Amino acid sequence: MALPLDNMTRREKRCCQASAIDILPMKIKRLEIVGFKSFVDKVSLDFQHGITGVVGPNGCGKSNIVDAIRWVMGEQTPAICADE
């Protein structure tokens, strides 16, 4: 049955369109990094349920972990691949 879109407000139309798409959350369970930026040796990170951030002292590679995830997810920015 089609929805009567002509009688709906703009907000109602957006809600109907958004609910028609199934969006499933993606969860990263483990990250293994070898030879990426500052991670020359193999490093394995197991992400426990409910992790919301990566913390550590300056220069420990926190941003390199995020860059590795972005690279695996398909970002092609040259700055991600280069060691700064």
> What is the per-residue pLDDT across 38-52, written as a single tens digit (0 to 9) for each?
889 999 988 888 777
Tokens of 81: 């691949």
- pLDDT value, residue 49: 81
- pLDDT value, residue 41: 93
Examine residue 5 and state whether it is found in any structural domain, yes or no: no
What residues contact residue 59 under an 8 Å CB cut-off, 6+ apart?
Answer: none
What residues contact residue 27 under an 8 Å CB cut-off, 6+ apart?
Answer: 47
- Region for 48 from its dihedrals, namely left if φ exceeds 0, alpha if ψ lies in -120 to 50, beta otherwise: beta
Examine residue 65 and state whether it is found in any structural domain, yes or no: yes
- pLDDT value, residue 9: 72
Examine residue 74 and state whether it is found in any structural domain, yes or no: yes
Q: What are the residue ranges in the chain where pLDDT is below 50?
A: 1
Examine residue 67 and state whether it is found in any structural domain, yes or no: yes
Task: Give the total number of structural domains in the chain.
Answer: 1
- Please list the residues that pair with 30 across neighbouring strands: 46
Examine residue 50 and state whether it is found in any structural domain, yes or no: yes
- pLDDT value, residue 1: 46
**Whole domain around residue 34: which residue ranges?**
25-81
Q: How many residues does the chain have?
A: 84
